[in-house]
Amino acid sequence: MSINTALMRILITLFLFISPNYLIAESNTASLYAGAEKSVYQIRVINKETGKKSSIGSGFIVSKDNILATNYHVVSQYVNDPDVYVLDYLSTSGETGTLELLDLDIVHDLAVVKASHPMGTPLTIDDIPEKGARLFSLGNPLDLGFSIVAGTNNGILTQEEDGNIQISGSLNPGMSGGPTLNEAGHVIGINVATTGNNISFLVPADYLKIILKRLKANSYAPIKDRFIHISNQLKASANKILSILSKNDWGETTIGRFIVPAELDKSVRCWDASRRPKPDDLFRSFFTRCSNEEDIFLSDRLSVGSINYEYLWIDSEKLNPLRFYRRYEKLNSSVLASQAGKRDVTNFACHTDFTTIAEQSFKTTICRRDYIKYKGLSDILFTTALVGHGKKGFIFNMDITGTDAKATLQLFKKMLGAFQWQK
Amino acid sequence: MAEVIFETVSRGQHQHYKITKFPTTIGRAFDNDIILSDLSVSPHHLEINKDEKGYSLRNISEENGTLLNKKKMDHVAVAITLPTSLQIGDLKARVLSQTTPVEATRIKSQSKGLFRILSNPLSVAFLFLLTLGLIIFDRYQSIPIEKNLLFYANQLLPTLFILLGIALAIAGVSRLSTHRWEILSALGIASLFFLIPLGFDHIGHFLDYFFTSDTPSTILKNISHFLVLPALLMFYMIRVHLTPKLPALGAALLVSSPISAYHINDAMDQLSAYSGFSQIPLYNQTLSSLDIRMDETISLDRYFEDADTLLATEVSQMLEEELEKAKE
């Protein structure tokens, strides 16, 4: 009894303490809501056969009264299979109508669509406010109807190349593609993703500006071949990233007798993944795995843009070379963690030969496969294993998906040039 | 006076009867000149006669009757020329002239060539111990952890049991058909059955690394899956059971067919997996501590140049095929 009363008292105190702030935020949100409600729509991908929605998201009017911006991943099914799906909108008052794809930015997960008639007042785009500013994300969380989530700007994500904005606030799946407004009611970003722990991400509205400018110059004509358009964007992005990577200072890390490049970029993180030694082991092995921990969404089962590499060192005093190599050989395999299927990519073609790296002999393989729909885009897999040392082994694996083959090979070569053997 | 030989063949065994008196009666009853105890033969079945024109046969069986050159005989005497083939009930028979040449003497095979290894106790013991030794060595090589001898002995047990089981099965069949326990040869054959695939594995691995290609091990693996067992069984049957080559081949294929069928199933699965789309890059992953290879080490510049052009051509070819398919 006494505990309950005490708890109640604390709760009331707490409530009284925070309530003034809470009320101010509420009134601010309410006015924003009133202003923006008519400009935000639910965007739905509908299966032509069943007439039922297959995915939902949000979108908002921007630039012109019949132009809506949303995420690419909201409309991806429609973009990839226009014969199977149609795109439509649903307003807060329940009106619906079909939409047509105008343009997209695959790298930043943006799409611009067009309705057949005027839809409301376009929202204006504003610059990103300073860190800590209050932001309001609008959308359709979980198909429950229009909703607004307040959050705080935590600044541009520097870890990622495409510089998403990180906010503290809980975006929900259906809110993707909706706008995030500053306190003046202007769009500063487009809701894109959440980690679930009250941390969410926005695409800076600057990238939307670029598409809108392009569209305006073409008097809002839809793109002709979407796959060529997407391939070109992916290739340009890959080349940009590869050139940044190859210009970066990689730093050095030591694994066994080798000094090798460490993080290729701020966006790349390396982790130790060494196997826990067992007391009766007759060998030692060390394992470092690096990844850019991000990818570009293409479809429900396909994404590209991953960069992974790993270094593995194994040596032994007690094993004879035959026995050592049995173990070493088992570690020498490399696969690509990708969902790409037979309609997406060709088989791998591989080339194996013995090469000199850091004055040592290596058995080196490069495998390449190309995307069928996205012309000029490849997955490249590189693997090399030290040979000629009876009791020492070293393996370097690297793979990059959705990339330009020539530029990727250049990067590999440059990395291998940085390998050093410590005598 | 010229004499005639009457030959019957039952379960591969030939029986010969010399006929000196005409007419000669053949049947199961004890009052016949030639008594055939096969139950498909009538008590009085057949008569062989001779006159100035030559020899003649008369079927007197009312039951299963007689086939002369695969045609059913009635009860009329039929003139024959020598040699003549008959079927009396289930028994195959021939009427031969006594000047018919006999087969060349077969030299006792045990003493000849490769088989000497399989019939000499010392060499069989060596083969057996070599097999066990290599299996233990192979296990030892593949486990990079400190283990005691008991562990390896334990690892060996299943193989040892299977090996002895196979040897016993082979020897048992020999005992039934030749009335001899050919336990030594059987043990030798069973040892080879384990030794050859193991040897092929190592040779295949060596060659794979040497040529930087998976082809040698694939060929050797298929040989050990499909050819080793039939070849060993055939060899054994020819040498121990003195079976003619063709029947030995047939029997060997028949006996090994369950194992072959298992491997065929496996091979088909693999073939269908590799002929279509595969997520897995196929490249030669062998590493060898000996580092004996045909390819020399080349510079990175040259390697990247080669890889760039080769892969671009190969992939563009695959892409073209895909686009062709898409058009259809």
pLDDT at A33 over 70: no
Query: In the structure, what pLDDT confidence band is assigned to residue B174 with cuts at 50, 70 and 90?
Result: confident
**Terminal C-alpha separation, chain A:** 75
Same domain, A389 and A320: yes
Q: Which residue has the tokens 């966006």?
A: A267
Number of compact structural domains in chain A: 2
Between B113 and A105, the more confident residue is: A105
Last residue of a domain, one of A163, A196, A223: A223
Same domain, A267 and A194: no
**pLDDT given at position A399:** 94
Which of A309, A332, A315, A327 has the alpha carbon at shortest distance from A401? A309
Put simply, the answer to whether A321 touches B289 (Cβ < 8 Å) is yes
Same domain, A166 and A259: no
Same domain, A255 and A370: yes
Same domain, A175 and A309: no
**Residue A81 C-alpha, separation from nearest chain B C-alpha, in angstroms:** 15
Same domain, A134 and A93: yes
Which run of H or of E encompasses B185?
A: helix B183-211
Interface probe with A: pick from B147, B208, B283, most Cβ of A within 10 Å = B283
Same domain, A185 and A61: yes
C-alpha triplet A229, A232, A236: angle, nearest 5°: 145
The number of angstroms, rounded, from the C-alpha of A409 to the middle of its chain's C-alpha atoms is 23
Question: Hey, which residues 275-314 in chain A have their CB within 8 Å of chain B?
Answer: 278, 280-283
A180 touches chain B (CB under 8 A): no
**Residue A389 C-alpha, separation from nearest chain B C-alpha, in angstroms:** 7
In a domain, A11, yes or no: no
Model pLDDT for residues A242-280, shown as the tens digit of each residue = 999 999 899 999 999 999 999 888 888 899 988 888 888
In a domain, A7, yes or no: no
Model pLDDT for residues A149-203, shown as the tens digit of each residue = 888 877 665 544 457 787 887 777 788 898 988 888 889 889 888 777 778 888 8
Same domain, A267 and A182: no
Which run of H or of E encompasses B216?
A: helix B215-226
Q: What count of CB pairs under 8 Å joins A to B?
A: 145
Domain that holds residue A263: 233-421
Last residue of a domain, one of A175, A200, A223: A223
In a domain, A14, yes or no: no
In a domain, A8, yes or no: no
A322 touches chain B (CB under 8 A): yes
In a domain, A12, yes or no: no
Minimum Cα–Cα distance from B281: chain A residue = A348
In a domain, A152, yes or no: yes
CATH at residue A343? 3.40.1000
Residue pair B90/B11 in contact by the 8 Å Cβ criterion: no
Using DSSP, state whether B103 is helix, strand or coil.
coil
Q: How high is the ipTM of this complex?
A: 0.82
pLDDT at A22 over 50: no
Of B277, B278, B298, the CB nearest to A354: B298
**pLDDT given at position B237:** 87
* Amino acid found at B281: P
Put simply, the answer to whether A316 touches B144 (Cβ < 8 Å) is yes
What span, in angstroms and rounded, lies between the C-alpha atoms of A64 and A402? 34
Mean pLDDT of A26-51: 78
Q: Which residues of B touch A369 (CB under 8 A)?
A: 281, 315, 318
**Residue B218 C-alpha, separation from nearest chain A C-alpha, in angstroms:** 18
Same domain, A353 and A257: yes
Q: What are phi and psi of A282, to 5 degrees?
A: -110, 15
Same domain, A80 and A186: yes
Model pLDDT for residues B281-317, shown as the tens digit of each residue = 999 999 999 999 999 999 999 999 999 999 999 999 9
Residue B149's alpha-carbon distances to A305, B146, B153, in angstroms, are 51, 10, 6
Q: Which two tokens stand for residue B70?
A: 């695969």
CATH at residue A85? 2.40.10.120
pLDDT at A146 over 80: no
Last residue of a domain, one of A169, A192, A223: A223
Put simply, the answer to whether A366 touches B311 (Cβ < 8 Å) is yes
pLDDT at A11 over 50: no
**pLDDT given at position A289:** 93
Lowest mean pLDDT among A211-215, B171-175, B225-229: B171-175
Put simply, the answer to whether B142 touches A378 (Cβ < 8 Å) is no
**pLDDT given at position A311:** 96
Q: Which residues of B touch A357 (CB under 8 A)?
A: 300
Question: Hey, which residues 100-129 in chain A have their CB within 8 Å of chain B?
Answer: none
Put simply, the answer to whether A370 touches B319 (Cβ < 8 Å) is yes
Same domain, A115 and A65: yes
In a domain, A2, yes or no: no
In a domain, A253, yes or no: yes
pLDDT at A28 over 90: no
* Amino acid found at A147: S
Residue B83's alpha-carbon distances to A77, A396, B71, B166, in angstroms, are 85, 79, 16, 44
What span, in angstroms and rounded, lies between the C-alpha atoms of B57 and A289? 92
Model pLDDT for residues A306-342, shown as the tens digit of each residue = 999 999 999 998 889 999 999 999 999 888 888 888 8
Same domain, A209 and A295: no
Using DSSP, state whether B183 is helix, strand or coil.
helix
A363 touches chain B (CB under 8 A): yes
Q: Which residues of B touch A367 (CB under 8 A)?
A: 281, 283, 311
A355 touches chain B (CB under 8 A): yes
